Amino acid sequence: MFGIRRSAAVSAVAAALSGLSVFGVAPVHGQTPATPPAGERRLSITDAVELALQQNADLEVIRINPQIQDVSISQARSNWAPTLTSLFQGDNRNSPVNSFLSGGQTKITNTQTTYNAGFGSNLPFYGSSYRVGWDNYRATTNNLFSNFSPQTGSTFSLNFTQPLLRNFGIDSTRQQLQVSRKNREISDVQVREAVATTTRSVKNAYWDLVFAISSLEVQRLSLDLAQRSLKENRARVEIGTMAPIDIVQAEAEVAQREEAVIVAEAAIARSEDALRALIYGEHVSDQWTSRLVPTDAAAFAPVAVDIDGAVKGALESRTDLEQARKTIEANDVTIRFLRNQVLPDLRAAVDYGATGIGGSQFIRDDDGFPGTIIGSLNKPFTDVLRNVFTNDFPTWTFTLQLSYPLGTSTQDANLARARLQNQQTIKQLDASRIRVATEVREVARTVTTNSKRVDATRSSRALAEKRLEAEEKKFQAGMTTNFFVLQAQRDLNQARNNELQALIDYLKSVVNYETAQVAPLGQGAGVTVITGGGGGTNTTGNNNQQQQNRQQ
């Protein structure tokens, strides 16, 4: 009677475990309700990825980088924006007479009102610059020797400066703009990289949660089997077919398996927190309270692995290598700028000016010096402007200025340093290409290895089930002891966990294989960024390392 009942129980549990081992259903305990209960969120792996791409806190940080680079581009362009200047100034001066030509005066009083306007800017080509100015004034004086009082004047000026060697092909503004554009492209690649690594982290965290829930189910079924064994052993002791000492061993086994259930429940909580941290933002109210229930089963689906094709694709499109290449392009711009700065500073400038004077012009007689004022001739300000804009009194100036340091200059040292650093960055990129190829080949081999592990652990689990069944039959026939039955149960439990772990490892290795072809799984390329002054360096590829570590 006990043998028939025990065999039926073992068969039922084995069938349940066998159904779990092939993962044909969603790995949740009990039946799936039609409507999820309150405080529970059911989500597929696709849902989890979409939530992370919308709400992941680290992604929100990375997505700001392109906006920052847009500001840098605008800042560089602002160096070409025209600048409008204006000036209004009033001046009143009283001076003692210090000349014998005083005419009896003891104090000279001069007043002047100035109102100027102008604008100018650097031009976005060839390093040119210009400035346009319009200066006006009105002055009065009691100096007997002055010919105008009040006197008005206006001057129109135009300056154009053109560098002929240094700053002709490229200057600091154009270098800053081109580097900022490259940084903008790099920030876009960083966003793509963050999306890829976040997607990988979410999928792996999802499968970790599936494993934790499925592992709990395995532990519960194992505990149920141990409890059934304990119950039957107690019945055998009551009828005198088993020694009481065997119950102690069965009770210890139940206690151990209860502990395994507790540990498995804690693992679910940790896995849920890890997944919550990836898919929810801070603004989600039930972030830490809602229970996450995966709806995708961990099913084994063989993936074709093309190592050579994966390596070739990674070398062409990996985000870390793309960032490194764009950084080297930015370094080339900086080197071109530094090479230009070694040239002599030869500048040509053209200045044009037109002026006019008006006001009240005194008319003097010929009696003595400076003569007695007998009248005045008024020249209005409109006549002054006419003199200016009809070019009655033009002034032209052409300037050619050359400066060149003797000996080794700072520019020479900066260029030499930049060239060495650029050689270093190229070597770093070559090393990164080898590292990428090695990484992709490794993750590809891991997919194949884990695929074989799934087959091996599946066979091992099937053999463990048969061994348990055989031990049960031998126990019923009195050919073995309860110790070997419990050992077979433990071995079956371990075999099922191994099969589950192998399958989850396989699914995660597939995720890593897909990600490794587009983004780094760990540290980036790490190439050197040359600064404009040549005096410092920076290493890229580590900007997202802290963020990646958090996501992994």
Q: pLDDT tens digits, residue range 294-308?
A: 998 888 888 889 999
pLDDT band at 5 (very low <50, low <70, confident <90, very high): very low
Greatest mean pLDDT among 141-145, 188-192, 244-248, 495-499 lies in 188-192
Radius of gyration over alpha carbons of the chain, in Å? 43
359-382 mean pLDDT: 72
pLDDT, residue 252, reads 87
Are 126 and 348 in contact, with CB atoms under 8 Å apart? no
Establish if 347 belongs to a structural domain. no
Residues 185 and 314 in one domain: yes
Confidence bin at 199 (pLDDT 50/70/90): very high
Residue 188 pLDDT greater than 90, yes or no:
yes
pLDDT at res. 333: 93
Domain membership flag for residue 340: no
Q: Over pLDDT 70: what percentage of the chain?
A: 83
Given a contact cutoff of 8 angstroms between Cβ atoms, the answer to whether 52 and 206 are in contact is: no
Sign, CA dihedral 464-470-476-479, equals negative
Q: Which residue has the higher pLDDT, 162 or 477?
A: 162
Residues 53 and 59: their CA atoms lie apart, in Å, by 7
Question: Is there a single domain that holds both residue 257 and residue 140?
Answer: no
Burial 107-138 (b: 16+ CB within 10 A, else e): ebebbbbeeeebebebeeeebebbbebbbbbb
**pLDDT on residue 381:** 86
Tokens of 450: 């884990």
Task: Indicate which CATH number applies to the domain containing 525.
Answer: 1.20.1600.10
DSSP letters spanning 271-326: HHHHHHHHH--TT-TTTTTSEEEE-S----------HHHHHHHHHHH-HHHHHHHH
Residue 348 lies in a domain: no
Q: What is the pLDDT of residue 474?
A: 83
At residue 40, does pLDDT exceed 70? yes
Confidence (pLDDT) at 528: 59
Mean pLDDT over all residues of the chain?
83
Average pLDDT over residues 358-385: 74
Q: Using the Cα atoms of residue 383, residue 384, residue 385 and residue 387 in order, give the sign of their dihedral.
A: positive
Pair 322, 226 in one domain: yes
Eight-state DSSP code of residue 91: E
Which tops the pLDDT comparison, 162 or 169? 162
Quick one: 20 and 67 in the same domain? yes
Res 37: pLDDT? 60
What per-residue confidence (pLDDT) applies to 19?
Answer: 40
Whether residues 52 and 90 share a domain: the answer is no
Residue 66: its pLDDT value, please? 94
**Predicted local confidence at residue 546, as pLDDT:** 41
Residue-wise pLDDT for 204-256, tens only, equals 999 999 999 998 988 898 888 888 888 887 887 888 777 777 788 788 888 98
3-state secondary structure of 394: strand
Domain tally for the chain? 2
- Among the three residues 379, 403, 427, which one is the final residue of a domain in this structure? 403
Q: Which residue has the higher pLDDT, 377 or 540?
A: 377
Q: Is 10 helix (H, G, I), strand (E, B) or coil?
A: helix
CB–CB of 246/237 below 8 Å?
A: yes
| CA of residue 511 relative to chain centroid, distance | 22
> Is there a domain that residue 341 lies in?
no
Give yes or no: residues 178 and 159 share one domain.
no
pLDDT at 17: 40
Place of tokens 């091992």: 460
The predicted structure's pLDDT at residue 468: 85
Asked if pLDDT for residue 174 goes beyond 70, the answer is yes
pLDDT of amino acid 552: 44
Domain coverage including residue 520: 2-72+174-334+414-551
